[in-house]
Structure 1
Amino acid sequence: METNDETRRETRRKASRYVVPVAVAGVAAATIGLVPALAASGDPDLPEITAQQLIEKIAASDTQTLSGTFKISTDLGLPSFAGLLDGVAGGAGGASSADPADRLTELVSGSHTLRVAADGPDRQKLTLLDGSDEYSLVHNGDDVWGYDSKSGEVFHEKAEGGPHGKPEKPVPSTPKELADEVLKAAGGTTSITVGDTAKVAGRDAYQLVIKPKQSGSTVESIRIAVDAANGTPLKFTLASTSGGKPVLDAGFTKVDFGRPDASTFDFKAPKGAKVTEGAAENEAGKPEDLAKGFMGPFADLEKGGAPNVIGEGWTTIAKLDTGAPAPKTEEAPKEAQGFLDALGDKVSGKFGSGTVFKTKLVNALMTDDGKVYVGAVTPDALVDAANAGK
């Protein structure tokens, strides 16, 4: 007779069969968690500058205050998420409609307009506009507030109350931080040049163009438009080798670097509004807990241990061993079957057979014997790695 531990292990193995396709979508979404937006074109006449000088200009910029409007357009090449999480995870268990863990995932697809204001590290406000409805996320000192005008619900959490005991950023990071992360990752596998000048939100800008030198990456190029006067990144565009619309095209349409009025960051819950406290919701099981559940087998592989890293730079591939066979679409929850069919392609080679779960940015190969190869590389690169038996 099976023990409780054995039953739990078997349940986890079965659940892990559906982790890869959902995790691929999650990893792809995570790569666009830092948001700028679209902007008007132009070709201002600016003094010549080298790539090194432009990088130094970005590093030297220290924009603490700004307000403005930006648009973000994302296209990961994913099928619709509609109904997927409800079918696979059983819903969010009554989570507040004002919880940022839910609302900011809307930025993963389509085009959105946002208003933003910042006054140093302790005051930020982001408002997501959706027709006549608005969703606002406000960080003011020790408090983080989310407000959904459509439902009238309010979410509140202490800024120091993150699950890891340290402050969490309540709003997406700035274009400068996004540029910093890209530049830190650049090395000998990367080409960095200065492209044409541009006009972004009415401001003159240089464009830093970053491209992989290696073949096999899904990234065609990254363009960062940099304010010619103060070095602040204003626009970010990530293009895929698959062509079509950029994976991310995001940047300011209007920007002011003056200090916003202090009242911008004031928030008081409307009378009668349902207020959900973040700590209480954590205990009940927040949406991010569901995400951790999806990613669990990657973080706690009892048999496979830590991932094996193959290659370097833009063509790095992580290899894992889940110890579970690849998922069969017909065995998945009904709501997830169409998603899995659209996301996966059957492949075969020296390694045997398996399924490639694909987006325009992150792809993963899961072999029928439970090995996983994942990276921002083409499906062919994943198959080659599996055939090499690395």
Structure 2
Amino acid sequence: MAETRKAGRYIVPVAVAGVAAATIGLVPALAASGDPDLPEITAQQLIEKIAASDTQTLSGTFRISTDLGLPLEGLASGLTSGLGGGSGTADPSRKLTELISGSHTLRVAADGPERQKLTLLDGSDEYSLIHNGDDVWAYDSKSKEVFHEKAPADAGPKDTPKAELPGTPKQLADEVLKAAGDTTSITVDGTAKVAGRDAYQLVIKPKQAGSTVESVKIAVDAANGTPLKFTLASVEGGKPVVDAGFTKVDFSKPAASDFTFKAPEGAKVTEGGAEKAAGEKDGPFDGPLPEGLEEAFGGFGPGAGAGKGDVNVIGEGWTAIAKIDTGAPAPKTDEAPKEIQGLLGSFGDKVTGKFGSGTVFKTKIVNALLTDDGKVYVGAVTKDALVNAANAGK
């Protein structure tokens, strides 16, 4: 399954942000003066419009802002120092983790499923990720390094690496709508102008109490059903957890030259993935989540068995909690490198209860309880909900 592992690396490893998007939904924050006067539409009709949208070509610029409520400078430092992560590489699995915090401007282009390009703009420096057929290229203008990955010669179309545009409103909206169910309220809340386009605003909210998600707002192009803006907000208030939207967009076919790439003379080229020995790791963010965690974070469906390392799901909908028994006592914080100790202490709360004791690691959306005897409870729920689940001994 090397190709599957490889393809997953190009769906931005936005760590907890990606988990939040894939697991639950996202939220509001869109209102503007001069909202367009559009024909009325029901929520069901708008969802059908998104599902029927078949936008194959586009180019434009969008902004993505992420605020997980994490000490992200410490996180980056701790992971680099404590886990041996490198720097100065064009590998997308490392470079795109920058989207985990702050605000970023990205330029995108797409021409069907075989050609996409994303450029992360950072002052005068640019980082480009290009998918053209069987090839995926990445180039960091600052370090002048190139990363290249190619599918094996005998790979079929389904095995070709797909460099999906990470964090786009379309990708985020699809994940939210897949997760919506009977525990969700979906309404249409007016209209808006986004990137010069008329749009409807779809609002998604949990019906259940105890979720950390306040709501999700998706601005949907009134003409073609393409999501143009996506905002996720936490019940904690403050800045949105994720706010991603186009500032410019054009749905005409981009030039073929937009997707061609030739390594600059003198650039260091690193070949990735399929050419490496099986089992070799590039770094702490290499590849998708382990299978068990993917199930826990990917929709909270019915859990697996209760064996060690398996996932059990407690509850349903927005307040579902995944329980994982690691089968081993939790590592002692005081035995970790100093950088990691400081990181854990800055966003972990010690808790006790009938279950014993443990630590709750918190963000504005996803919280996780790691008990001292090695059980993990994780979900988009409050700290109290995690402690109650552990006390219930489920």
Conserved in 2, the CA contact under 8 Å of 1:66 and 1:259? yes
Report the equivalent of 1:52. Answer: 44
What runs of 5+ residues in structure 1 fail to find an aligned partner? 1-24
Q: Structure 2 vs 1, CA of residues 40 and 243 (structure 1 numbering), >3 Å: closer, same or farther?
A: closer
Answer whether contact 1:38 1:250 (CA < 8 A) is retained: no
Residue 184 of structure 1: aligned partner = 178
Alignment of 1:127-138 (within 5 A): 127-138=119-130
Structure-to-structure mapping, 1:139-158, within 5 angstroms: 139-158=131-150
CA contact (8 A) 1:144 1:159 kept: no
**CA distance in 1: counterparts of 2:305 and 2:133, whole angstroms:** 39
TM-superposition CA deviations, 1:129-160 (whole Å, max 9, x none): 01110000111112111000011111111156
Measured in 2, the distance between the counterparts of 1:301 and 1:289 equals: 27
- Structure 2 unmatched runs, 5+: 1-13, 295-303
Q: SS of the residue aligned with 1:150? A: coil
How many Å separate the matches in 1 of 2:18 and 2:226? 24
What letter is aligned with 1:26?
A
- Paired letter, 1:343: F
Selected match of 2:374 from 358, 370, 374:
370
Alignment equivalent of 1:287, drawn from 271, 283, 289: 283
1:31 matched to 2:20? The reply is: yes
Q: Which moved more, 1:115-124 or 1:314-323?
A: 314-323
| 3-state SS, counterpart of residue 190 of structure 2 | coil
Alignment partner, residue 41 of structure 1: 32
Match of 1:204 in 2: 198
Q: Counterpart amino acid of 1:335?
A: E
- Of 89, 106, 110 in structure 2, the residue corresponding to residue 114 of structure 1 is 106
Q: Distance in 2 between matches of 1:40 and 1:269?
A: 43
Determine helix, strand or coil for the equivalent of 2:159: coil
1:227-246 alignment to 2 at 5 Å? 227-246=221-240
Contact 1:28–1:359 under 8 Å retained in 2: no
For residues 203 and 32 of structure 1, the distance between their equivalents in structure 2, rounded to whole angstroms, comes to 25
Q: Distance in 1 between matches of 2:43 and 2:306?
A: 46
8 Å CA contact 1:141–1:159 kept in 2: the answer is no
Aligned pair 1:343/2:343, yes or no? Answer: no
Is structure 2 residue 248 aligned with structure 1 residue 254? yes
> Per-residue displacement from partner, 1:220-268 (whole Å, max 9, x unpaired)?
1011100011111000001111111111001000000111111111111
TM-score (norm 2): 0.84
Aligned partner of 1:325 in structure 2 is: 329
Structure label with greater radius of gyration = 1
Report the alpha carbon displacement of residue 290 of structure 1 after superposing the two structures with TM: 5.4
Within a 5 Å distance, the mapping from 1:57-72 to structure 2 comes to: 57-72=49-64
Q: Secondary structure at the match of 1:31?
A: helix
- Output the amino acid matched with 2:229: K
How far did residue 55 of structure 1 move?
0.7
The reply on whether 1:309 has 2:313 as its aligned counterpart is yes
Q: Which amino acid aligns with 2:372?
A: D
CA deviations 1:144-193 (Å, max 9, x no partner) are: 1100001111111115689xx82332243543333222112111100000
Which residue does 2:81 correspond to in 1?
87
How many angstroms apart in 2 are the aligned matches of 1:285 and 1:305?
21
Q: How many residues align?
A: 361
Report the CA distance between 1:366 and its aligned residue: 1.3
Q: Offset of 1:298 from its aligned partner?
A: 5.8
In 1: Cα distance, 2:53 partner to 2:227 partner: 9
Matched to 2:81, the amino acid is: G
Out of 215, 225, 239, which is 2:209 matched to? 215
Shift of residue 331, structure 1, vs aligned partner? 1.5
Report the Cα distance in structure 1 between the residues aligned to 2:176 and 2:152, rounded to whole angstroms: 28
Deviates more, 1:328-337 or 1:52-61: 328-337
What is the one-letter code of the residue matched to 1:202? G
CA shift in 2, pair 1:151/1:39, >3 Å: farther
Aligned with 2:263: secondary structure? coil
**Which 10-residue stretch deviates more, 370-379 or 295-304?**
295-304
Alignment partner of 1:167 out of 124, 140, 160:
160
* Identical-pair percentage: 72
Deviation at 1:328, TM superposition (A): 3.1
Q: Give the structure 2 partner of residue 19 of structure 1.
A: none
How many angstroms does 1:287 deviate by?
2.3
Kept in 1: contact 2:149–2:274 (CA 8 A): no
Letter in 1 for 2:15: G
From the superposition, tell whether residues 100 and 160 of structure 1 become closer, same or farther in structure 2 (CA, over 3 Å).
farther
Q: Aligned partners of 2:114 and 2:287: how far apart in 1? A: 27
RMSD (Å) for aligned C-alpha atoms? 2.9
